[in-house]
């Protein structure tokens, strides 16, 4: 089989298993020595029950804190969209990706959850499962608990050896639609992937700093975004004053007030976009960027669920390290060469 052919076949199999009648063009194929595969660790007999172990831990954490679904989505995006899905977002270091200003909202707790899962796997299957695969599995399992489909995760990623905050280049929440589409394309995703993955904003929170321009000074006019529904504007202004008080943290607001603390995976994001109730500027622009897809997802929840599974799988395959590239970290926060517990 030609290089990358196995992953193409795997994505086709995923599309068929989810009853999607076609496979979109521009599938990103990693330059691998060995392609990602289903049941990778079972086939190698290195950790046959890895998925059950990860799912059990994720379920324990999710039962305590349902917000981990949104946080794991963000963590997976932060990993895959910078240097590929290599677990580099998990590495500690003063100048590591996790310490980039754009990642200030991730919070330490979500990294501790990955640490716990890794600790369990190191007991069960020492030195076998990569941190990059753990992150992809954990995001899938948390998504399913919140209402998304339990899609197959192709495994075999290895962990990167570097992490650099300077690599973090996500577009701002106020970027134009053309800018965010160009960004997605540059990483290997198409516009449909972008519209679909933004649906993850049906849950989660954002800092007021990312929406103040829409509330008070849209495009330097000194006025709010005229397209935002007045009732939403009023509510958000109550939560986000023009300036954060000295000595206090910037407030957080729900990306989807309709879901609020429920953290349910629904298609209400698209319905709110249609009624001009998106919180982030980039989310509202989805309406004009691809109205037909927004309308379809707003009407047909199952279509959104199926397409989300395909798009997040595509993102999870971006620029992965496989074969002899990278390593299997023993601690997700350190490369093995820098791990203080390895002498």
213 assigned binding-site residue: no
201 assigned binding-site residue: yes
79 assigned binding-site residue: yes
What is the sign of the dihedral through the CA atoms of 283, 288, 290 and 291? positive
- What are the φ/ψ torsions at residue 86 (nearest 5 degrees)? -125, 10
206 assigned binding-site residue: no
Task: Assess contact for 178 and 194: CB atoms under 8 A.
Answer: no
97 assigned binding-site residue: yes
Task: Give the C-alpha separation, 319 to 231, whole Å.
Answer: 43
180 assigned binding-site residue: no
86 assigned binding-site residue: yes
How far apart are the two ends of the chain, measured CA to CA in Å? Answer: 41
For the residues of 305-324, what is the DSSP string, one character each?
HHHHHHHHHHHTTTT-B-TT
33 assigned binding-site residue: no
Task: Give the C-alpha separation, 136 to 15, whole Å.
Answer: 18
Q: Which of 47, 41, 6 is nearest to 27 (CA)?
A: 6
DSSP code at position 160: -
Q: Which of 268, 332, 309, 335 is nearest to 116 (CA)?
A: 332
Q: Judge residue 303's burial from the number of C-beta atoms within 10 Å of its C-beta, 0-12 exposed, 13-18 middle, 19 or more buried.
A: middle
For residue 266, CA distances in Å to 269, 288, 302, 308 come to 7, 21, 10, 11
Task: Give the C-alpha separation, 266 to 297, whole Å.
Answer: 10
Task: Assess contact for 168 and 82: CB atoms under 8 A.
Answer: yes
Identify the three-state secondary structure at position 206: strand
> Pseudo-torsion of CA 203, 15, 10, 111, nearest 10°?
0
Which parts are annotated binding residues for heme b?
201
Binding site listing for substrate: 171
The annotation places the binding site for Ca(2+) at 79, 82, 84, 86, 88, 97, 202
Residue numbers in the known binding site are: 79, 82, 84, 86, 88, 97, 171, 201-202
């Amino acid at each position: 089989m030609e290089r990358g052919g196995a992953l193409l076949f795997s994505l086709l199999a995923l599309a068929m298993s989810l009853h999607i009648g076609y496979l979109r063009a521009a599938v990103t194929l990693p330059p691998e020595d060995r392609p990602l595969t289903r049941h990778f660790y079972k086939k190698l007999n290195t950790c046959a029950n890895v998925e059950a172990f990860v799912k059990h831990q994720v379920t324990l954490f999710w039962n305590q804190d349902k917000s981990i679904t949104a946080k794991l989505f963000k963590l997976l995006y932060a990993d895959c969209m910078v240097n590929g899905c290599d677990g580099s977002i998990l590495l500690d270091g003063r100048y590591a990706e996790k310490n980039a200003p754009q990642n200030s909202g991730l919070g330490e707790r979500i990294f501790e959850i990955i640490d716990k899962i890794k600790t369990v796997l190191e007991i069960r299957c020492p030195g076998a499962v990569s941190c990059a695969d753990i992150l992809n599995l954990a995001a899938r399992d948390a998504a399913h608990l919140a209402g998304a489909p339990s899609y197959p995760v192709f495994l075999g990623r290895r962990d990167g050896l570097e992490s650099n905050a300077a690599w973090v280049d996500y577009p701002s929440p106020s970027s134009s639609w053309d800018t965010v589409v160009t960004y997605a394309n540059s990483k290997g995703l198409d516009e449909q992937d972008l519209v679909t993955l933004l649906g993850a904003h049906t849950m989660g929170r954002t800092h007021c700093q990312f929406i103040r321009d829409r509330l008070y000074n849209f495009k330097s006019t000194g006025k709010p975004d005229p397209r935002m529904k007045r009732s939403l504007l009023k509510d958000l202004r109550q939560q986000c004053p023009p300036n954060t008080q000295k000595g206090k943290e910037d407030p957080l607001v729900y990306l989807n007030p309709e879901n609020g603390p429920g953290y349910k995976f629904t298609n209400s994001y698209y319905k709110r976009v249609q009624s001009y109730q998106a919180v982030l500027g980039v989310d509202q622009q989805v309406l004009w960027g691809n109205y037909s897809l927004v309308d379809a997802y707003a009407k047909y929840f199952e279509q959104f669920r199926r397409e989300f599974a395909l798009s997040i799988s595509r993102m999870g395959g971006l620029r992965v390290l496989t074969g002899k590239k990278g390593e299997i970290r023993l601690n997700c926060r350190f490369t093995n060469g820098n791990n203080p517990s390895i002498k």
